A and B are shown apart, each in its own frame.
Chain A
Amino acid sequence: DADVTQTPRNRITKTGKRIMLECSQTKGHDRMYWYRQDPGLGLRLIYYSFDVKDINKGEISDGYSVSRQAQAKFSLSLESAIPNQTALYFCATSEPGLEETQYFGPGTRLLVL
């Protein structure tokens, strides 16, 4: 079984709808992240959490919110989806260390019409 899972894997929604993307991990890591990936722009950080009680904004948090329900679960919400939020979304986890590795989920492909 995959260490980091994301649901759904694909989603089509309409402008103005609220949607939630979910991430679960079995690696036992405290740190979790949400990124979006757009062609030619690499990955950009939306939100990150270093433990259950810690939530931090990333580079592009406007229009998004998150919830850290447990050490293993980190959800990303789009309160009112808009077309320019069409992208590939990745969740990642890590543990602190000098050469810290981030472990990514398989991604959620979101299309906002």
Chain B
Amino acid sequence: TQLLEQSPQFLSIQEGENLTVYCNSSSVFSSLQWYRQEPGEGPVLLVTVVTGGEVKKLKRLTFQFGDARKDSSLHITAAQPGDTGLYLCAGDSRGGGNKLTFGTGTQLKVEL
């Protein structure tokens, strides 16, 4: 069974701070996705990274895929209360994104 470990599990910060969430595995993935989930809703895709070393930016969010395609990070600059939520990474080992292995999740709370 492939495992994706996320750290930290919980993070509570003040508005304006920066943070990084990590997603690590011993397995190689053909692509890796990041989702955000808010209370009472299902996860929503933020980004997909497919190339080792790839960096993608989405406004204040920066996503990086490790060179060996075994790990990924999500960095948020100047966090805002609207960033609060559960962040999940998900790896696809077979290509096509149709059978994902989800990480354990990072619960982020950004306070005023």
Contacts and interface: CB of A to CB of B under 8 A. Distances in A.
Contact of B105 (A40, A96, A100, A101): A40
Contact of A101 (B6, B41, B45, B99): B45
A12 interface: no
Contact of B50 (A42, A92, A98): A98
A42 B102 contact: yes
A85 interface: no
B44 A42 contact: no
Contacts of A35: 102
Interface size class of A (residues with CB under 8 A): 20 to 34
Interface stretch (A13-21, A44-52, A61-69, A70-78): A44-52
Contacts of A96: 96, 98
Nearest to A31: B98
B48 interface: yes
B42 interface: yes
Contact of B97 (A41, A50, A97, A106): A97
A41 B104 contact: yes
B43 interface: yes
A4 interface: yes
A104 B42 contact: yes
B97 A102 contact: yes
A35 B34 CA distance: 17
A50 B88 contact: no
B97 A94 contact: yes
Contacts of A100: 92, 96-98
26 contacts: A4-B42, A35-B102, A40-B9, A40-B104, A42-B102, A42-B104, A43-B90, A44-B102, A48-B99, A50-B98, A59-B1, A94-B97, A96-B98, A97-B96, A97-B97, A98-B50, A98-B95, A98-B97, A99-B48, A100-B92, A102-B45, A102-B97, A104-B41, A104-B43, A106-B40, A106-B41
Interface of B: 1, 4, 6, 9, 31, 33, 40-45, 48, 50, 88, 90, 92, 95-100, 102-105
